[in-house]
Structure formats: structure tokens, C-alpha cells
């Protein structure tokens, strides 16, 4: 009898502690303490779909894409109707494809597409999923299910959900087609549609830099910094643009060092990505 009561008490304590541990794990994840978040999640006596999803996201942020995919597979299996879980599983397979050999990359790339497509089917208003699917169609070759026609159709669907994001997708599609005048117009329309979103100005600045219009790009980056002066993402995006274009490398190093010392959230590029840029 005494043993039974002890077991029941342990179960009750575990049930009440789990939601608190999940909240703490989410807070640690959001503050980029991925190791701390994982320690709490691994210790959970019972893991549901939300726990596996958060485990997968933590591994993703640590660039352990194999374990990320394995955890996210369990999240999708536990809750197959969740669009967000399918989206993150697609992202994990996408990063696995990038790091894989020519023999295994097509397998992971196909899974990426399948889960992105599943994510938008499960929630047709999931704008992040539509954007990731658009990027896949834009960049992947036809034999892996990509294609500019598919990208164009997806861009139109994005525009129905969000005007600024739709203009951004149209700009990326036009640039892919080397229709640079049309691309610039669409990037500027995105800024006009969302004038207080620093990300729209960053996208325009990066485009201008790719076109060799450095002075205009610098002016546009400055406008973005005025809108969001404490946004570390601007530091990262600006540095990454300099490095990609082989310009202002000393300034890029300074920006990345400032980024590494900033207070980041899980929405910002991981410090590991910044470290890789610094190494370049």
C-alpha cells in the first residue's frame, strides 16, 4: 500500500513538473541556451510532440541536423496534423542535404520538399512554410521537384497572405531570372508595403550590393538601423553581405564580433553561423 502511494505521488509530481520544465526549456531555447534547454527536455519522464519538437529545434540551432531530424520525426509522428512540426522537419532535412554527399543529398532534398509541401497543406496560412517552399522551388533543380514555374505560383500564393512578402518573393524570382530592373522594383515595393520592417530594407540593401551599388546599399543599411537600432540581425546580415561580395572585410569582422557579443534570441542566426563567417 505504502509503495502504491509513493508511486502515485511520484506520478503526480512528475505530471505537475513537466509543464514547468517545458516552460523553462522554451525560455532557455529563446535565450539561445540550447544546452540548458536540452538538459531539461532529456530529463522529462514522458515526452510529447511539443517536447520532441523543441528538442529538434535545439539540435538544429546547434547544427546537429541528424539528431534534429530524428527528434522532429518523432514530433511529426506524435502529431501528424501540426504544420509547424512538418516545417521544422523539412528544414532539418534541408540542412542535412546541404552537408551530405552527392549520393545522399538528393534523398534529403526530396524529403525537404515533401515536408514543406505537407506544412502548407496542413496550414495554408503558414507564411513561413510558404516562404521556405518558395525558396526550395526557386533553388532546387527540376529533377528534385524544383522549378521557376512552381516558384512563381508559390509567390502569387504568398502575395495573397502578405503583400510585402509577396513583393519580396517576386523580387527574388525576378533576380533569379536576371530581370534586375523588375527585381529592384519589387524589392522597393516590399519596402513601401512594410516601411517599418527593417528586414525589407536589408533585403533591398543586399540586392543593391550584389549589383555593385555600394553607396546606395550603405544608405539603405543605415535606414534599417534607424528603424531597428538594437537589432543584432542587421549586424549579421550586413556582415554576411560584405563577405559574400568580398567587400569591407575588416568592417565585416567588426560587425560579426559585435553580433557574437549581442543578446540574441532563437529568431536570430545562430552564433555558430556567425563563427563560420568569421573564420572566412
9 DSSP 8-state letter: H
Domain that holds residue 256: 231-280
Task: Note whether 142 and 235 are same-domain residues.
Answer: no
Give tens-digit pLDDT for 23-34. Answer: 999 999 999 999
241 found inside a domain: yes
Please enumerate in sequence order all residues whose Cβ is within 8 A of that of 213, keeping only pairs 6 or more positions apart, or say none.
Answer: none
Could you tell me the pLDDT band of residue 9, with boundaries at 50, 70 and 90? very low
10 found inside a domain: no
Give tens-digit pLDDT for 260-280. Answer: 999 889 888 888 889 889 888
Task: Indicate if the pLDDT at residue 70 is higher than 90.
Answer: yes
Could you tell me the pLDDT band of residue 59, with boundaries at 50, 70 and 90? very high
154 found inside a domain: yes
Q: What is the tally of structural domains in the chain? A: 2
Please enumerate in sequence order all residues whose Cβ is within 8 A of that of 238, keeping only pairs 6 or more positions apart, or say none.
Answer: 202, 205, 221, 252, 255
Task: Indicate if the pLDDT at residue 96 is higher than 50.
Answer: yes
Task: Note whether 145 and 87 are same-domain residues.
Answer: yes
Task: Identify the pLDDT of residue 270.
Answer: 87
Task: Note whether 235 and 200 are same-domain residues.
Answer: no
82 found inside a domain: yes
Tell me what the pLDDT averaged over the chain comes to. Answer: 92
Spatial distance between the Cα atoms of 266 and 34, rounded to a whole number of angstroms: 9
116 found inside a domain: yes
Task: Note whether 225 and 254 are same-domain residues.
Answer: no
DSSP letters for 234-273: HHHHHHHHHHHHT--HHHHHHHHHHHHTS---TTSPPHHH
Q: Hey, which of 17-26, 84-93, 242-251 has the most confident mean pLDDT?
A: 84-93
Task: Note whether 158 and 261 are same-domain residues.
Answer: no
Task: Note whether 252 and 124 are same-domain residues.
Answer: no
Task: Indicate if the pLDDT at residue 88 is higher than 80.
Answer: yes
86 found inside a domain: yes
Least Cα distance to 93 among 125, 71, 77 occurs for 71
Task: Note whether 215 and 252 are same-domain residues.
Answer: no
Task: Note whether 137 and 226 are same-domain residues.
Answer: yes
Could you tell me the pLDDT band of residue 226, with boundaries at 50, 70 and 90? very high
HEC profile of 176-237: HCCCHHHHHHHHHHHHHHCCCCHHHHHHHHHHHHHCCCHHHHHHHHHHHHHHCCCCHHHHHH
User: 134, 152 in Cβ contact below 8 A?
Assistant: no
Task: Note whether 235 and 127 are same-domain residues.
Answer: no
CA 77 to chain CA centroid, Å, is 22
Average pLDDT over residues 143-161: 98
> Of the given ranges (50-64, 192-206, 223-237), which has the lowest mean pLDDT?
223-237
Angle at 128 between CA 55 and CA 137, to 5 degrees: 110
Q: Give the chain's end-to-end CA distance (angstroms, integer).
A: 66
> Of the given ranges (8-12, 205-209, 217-221), which has the lowest mean pLDDT?
8-12
93 found inside a domain: yes
Task: Identify the pLDDT of residue 13.
Answer: 44
Spatial distance between the Cα atoms of 144 and 3, rounded to a whole number of angstroms: 58
Average pLDDT over residues 5-26: 63
Can you state the angle between helices 198-210 and 214-227, rounded to 10 degrees?
Answer: 170
User: 157, 130 in Cβ contact below 8 A?
Assistant: yes
Task: Note whether 127 and 38 are same-domain residues.
Answer: yes
Average pLDDT over residues 65-87: 98
Task: Note whether 114 and 191 are same-domain residues.
Answer: yes
Grid coordinates given for 30: 529563446
4 found inside a domain: no
Single residue among 196, 211, 230 that ends a domain in this structure? 230
Average pLDDT over residues 204-214: 94
3-state secondary structure of 112: helix
| Whole-prediction pTM | 0.88
Task: Note whether 203 and 262 are same-domain residues.
Answer: no
Output the domain CATH number for residue 117: 1.25.40.10
Task: Identify the pLDDT of residue 20.
Answer: 83
User: 83, 54 in Cβ contact below 8 A?
Assistant: no
Amino acid at each position: 500500500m505504502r509503495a502504491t502511494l509513493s508511486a502515485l505521488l511520484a506520478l503526480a509530481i512528475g505530471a505537475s513538473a513537466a509543464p514547468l520544465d517545458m516552460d523553462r526549456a522554451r525560455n532557455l531555447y529563446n535565450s539561445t541556451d540550447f544546452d540548458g534547454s536540452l538538459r531539461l527536455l532529456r530529463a522529462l519522464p514522458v515526452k510529447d510532440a511539443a517536447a520532441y519538437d523543441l528538442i529538434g529545434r535545439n539540435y538544429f540551432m546547434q547544427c546537429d541536423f541528424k539528431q534534429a531530424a530524428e527528434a522532429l520525426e518523432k514530433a511529426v509522428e506524435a502529431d501528424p496534423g501540426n504544420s509547424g512540426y512538418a516545417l521544422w522537419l523539412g528544414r532539418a532535412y534541408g540542412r542535412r542535404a546541404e552537408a551530405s554527399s552527392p549520393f545522399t543529398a538528393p534523398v534529403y532534398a526530396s524529403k525537404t520538399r515533401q515536408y514543406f509541401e505537407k506544412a502548407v497543406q496542413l496550414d495554408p496560412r503558414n507564411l513561413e512554410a510558404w516562404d521556405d517552399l518558395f525558396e526550395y522551388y526557386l533553388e532546387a533543380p527540376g529533377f528534385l521537384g524544383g522549378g521557376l514555374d512552381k516558384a512563381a505560383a508559390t509567390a502569387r500564393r504568398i502575395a495573397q497572405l502578405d503583400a510585402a512578402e509577396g513583393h519580396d518573393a517576386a523580387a527574388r524570382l525576378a533576380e533569379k531570372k536576371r530581370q534586375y530592373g523588375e527585381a529592384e522594383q519589387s524589392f522597393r515595393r516590399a519596402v513601401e508595403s512594410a516601411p517599418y520592417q527593417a528586414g525589407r530594407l536589408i533585403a533591398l540593401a543586399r540586392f543593391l550590393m550584389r549589383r555593385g551599388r555600394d553607396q546606395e546599399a550603405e544608405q539603405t543599411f543605415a535606414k534599417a538601423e534607424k528603424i531597428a537600432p538594437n537589432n543584432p540581425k542587421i549586424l549579421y546580415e550586413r556582415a554576411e553581405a560584405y563577405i559574400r561580395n568580398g567587400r569591407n572585410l575588416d568592417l565585416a569582422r567588426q560587425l560579426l564580433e559585435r553580433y557574437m557579443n549581442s543578446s540574441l534570441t532563437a529568431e536570430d542566426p545562430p552564433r555558430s553561423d556567425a563563427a563560420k563567417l568569421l573564420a572566412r
